[in-house]
């Protein structure tokens, strides 16, 4: 069916827009009829290097000719190289590889529990935030601060203690009353929650509380990581260092791969047999991710994302200046949110009609996560098409 609610052989987990893409290059996608779309979503922050990037394409082809998969029963030099490359850009010390964001967070949650049991805490709990998103597995949906993600899947996994986002006092209070806390799991900028940027000093404040109490600071950088916000990782806008970081989405530019990175004592909590993944860090995925990291570095795409983000945000602010229906334009690097005064999910379809791919999250926040390889002209084109789409939406 055209509305995508009943597509026969697939379970109805997604409400899909009525379009299928056949080809992609850079920031552009072509549908089956040859119509061209400008992609300001990049597969939800996955294709940071755009579609069919030559370096990633070459890496995948070369590796597929050579060796796709072995097993974590054997040494995997490409996985070791990737661990080293990720530690170099993050300042972390060790990596565990998996295949998705949820799995990376599962690893982090398991590390927190091991950390708690080492400290003789029987029922360790993790502080998580209202409005957060951490994935769809049972543990990660339990950690997620959105009832719609949890509804119907009870009983939830226990051991999460929820507080408001961007509120250090609440975290401090939980610490004073609950001696079972062992870690804080938090997004440096909330993505699904509506591009919520906390106050400067929030992450440093969390770091301070974690140090005081012996908790692990675990940052979910699945959406914010890999140069998107103008730094390799969003926490690097401040002066701190987390104990655990989770990465996925743009790590493989579309090849499924996730990673849980750790530093200090947290890096030595897993032992042989305590965790694992069949596919995790296989030669194909590791090779693709190495190509992604090399390209991000070579082209200094962290700096480029910052410049492009400033440009897009400035032009959007100007373009929406006289529109009282647009409540706020904000972002960091190429993670941009535009709040409207009303629910606006239908804007995704309206924008599609104008050849622009965007997302709406948290009901009324337009979310832009374009690829970092945009030209200035493409960045301006995103703004133009969005202004037209919003004008259309507000007319209806
Ligand atoms: C997308 C996302 C996840 C889940 O990643 P999957 O690969 O879909 O499992 C977790 N946390 C954040 C912040 C995300 O944006």
- pLDDT tens-digit map of 148-161: 999 999 999 999 99
Average pLDDT, the chain: 97
187 close to ligand 1 (CB < 6 Angstrom): yes
Query: Coil, helix or strand for 224?
Result: coil
Could you list the beta-strand ranges (E) of 75-148.
94-98, 125-129
* pLDDT beyond 80 at 5: no
Mutate to test the pocket of ligand 1, among 135, 247, 260 (most ligand atoms within 8 A of CB): 135
- Sign of the dihedral through C-alpha 386, 388, 392, 394: positive
pLDDT at 7 over 70: no
Residue 300 has pLDDT above 80, yes or no: yes
219: nearest Cα among 238, 230, 151, 123? 238
Residue 396 has pLDDT above 80, yes or no: no
Distance 192 CA to ligand 1 centre (A): 9
Q: pLDDT over 70 for what percent of the chain?
A: 98
CATH 3.40.640.10 residue ranges for the chain:
67-298
Report the percentage of the chain scoring pLDDT > 90: 98
- For the Cβ of 109 lying below 6 angstroms from any atom of ligand 1, the answer is no
Average pLDDT (308-313) is 98
Beta strand ranges found along the chain (DSSP E): 21-25, 28-31, 36-39, 94-98, 125-129, 160-163, 181-186, 216-220, 244-247, 258-262, 326-332, 335-340, 356-357, 359-361, 365-368
pLDDT digits 0-9 by tens, 59-107: 999 999 999 999 999 999 999 999 999 999 999 999 999 999 999 999 9
Domain topology for 21-53+300-395: 3.90.1150
pLDDT at res. 6: 57
Q: How far apart are CA 142 and CA 144, in angstroms?
A: 5
Cα 173 to averaged position of ligand 1 atoms, centre (Å): 28
Catalytic residues: 133, 220, 249
**Spatial CA neighbour of 85 closest among 235, 240, 286:** 286
- The model carries a pTM of 0.97
Please, where in the chain does CATH 3.90.1150.10 lie?
A: 21-53+300-395
Q: Supply the CATH classification number for the domain 67-298.
A: 3.40.640.10
């Amino acid at each position: 069916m055209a509305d995508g609610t009943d597509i026969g052989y697939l379970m109805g987990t997604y409400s899909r827009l009525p379009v299928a893409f056949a080809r992609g290059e850079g920031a552009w996608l072509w549908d089956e009829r040859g119509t061209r779309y400008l992609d300001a979503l990049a597969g939800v922050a996955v294709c940071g290097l755009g579609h069919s990037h030559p370096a990633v394409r070459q890496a995948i082809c070369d590796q597929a000719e050579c060796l796709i998969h072995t097993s974590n029963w054997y040494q995997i030099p490409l996985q070791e190289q990737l661990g080293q490359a990720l530690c170099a850009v993050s300042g972390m010390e060790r990596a565990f590889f998996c295949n998705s964001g949820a799995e990376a967070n599962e690893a982090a949650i398991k590390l927190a529990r091991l950390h708690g049991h080492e400290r003789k805490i029987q029922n360790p709990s993790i502080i998580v935030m209202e409005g957060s998103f951490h994935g769809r597995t049972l543990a990660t949906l339990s950690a997620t601060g959105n009832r719609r993600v949890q509804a119907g899947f009870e009983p939830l996994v226990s051991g999460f203690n929820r507080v408001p986002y961007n509120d250090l006092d609440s975290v401090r209070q939980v610490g004073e009353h609950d001696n079972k806390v062992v870690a804080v799991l938090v997004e440096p900028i909330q993505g699904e929650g509506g591009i919520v940027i906390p106050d400067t000093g929030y992450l440093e404040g969390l770091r301070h509380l974690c140090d005081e109490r012996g908790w692990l600071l675990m940052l979910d950088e699945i959406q914010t990581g890999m140069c998107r916000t103008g730094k390799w990782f969003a926490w690097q806008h401040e002066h701190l260092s987390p104990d655990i970081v989770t990465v996925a989405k743009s790590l493989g530019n579309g090849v499924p791969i996730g990673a849980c990175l750790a530093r200090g004592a947290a890096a030595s909590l897993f032992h042989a047999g305590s965790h694992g993944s069949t596919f995790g860090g296989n030669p194909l995925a590791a090779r693709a991710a190495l190509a992604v990291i090399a390209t991000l570095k070579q082209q200094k795409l962290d700096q480029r994302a910052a410049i492009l983000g400033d440009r897009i945000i400035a032009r959007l602010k100007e373009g929406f200046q006289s529109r009282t229906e647009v409540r706020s334009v904000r972002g960091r690097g190429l993670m941009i949110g535009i709040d409207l005064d009303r629910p606006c999910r239908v804007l995704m379809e309206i924008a599609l009609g104008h050849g622009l791919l965007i997302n709406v999250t948290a009901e009324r926040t337009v979310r832009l996560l374009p690829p970092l390889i945009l030209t200035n002209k493409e960045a301006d084109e995103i703004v133009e098409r969005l202004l037209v789409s919003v004008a259309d939406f507000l007319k209806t």
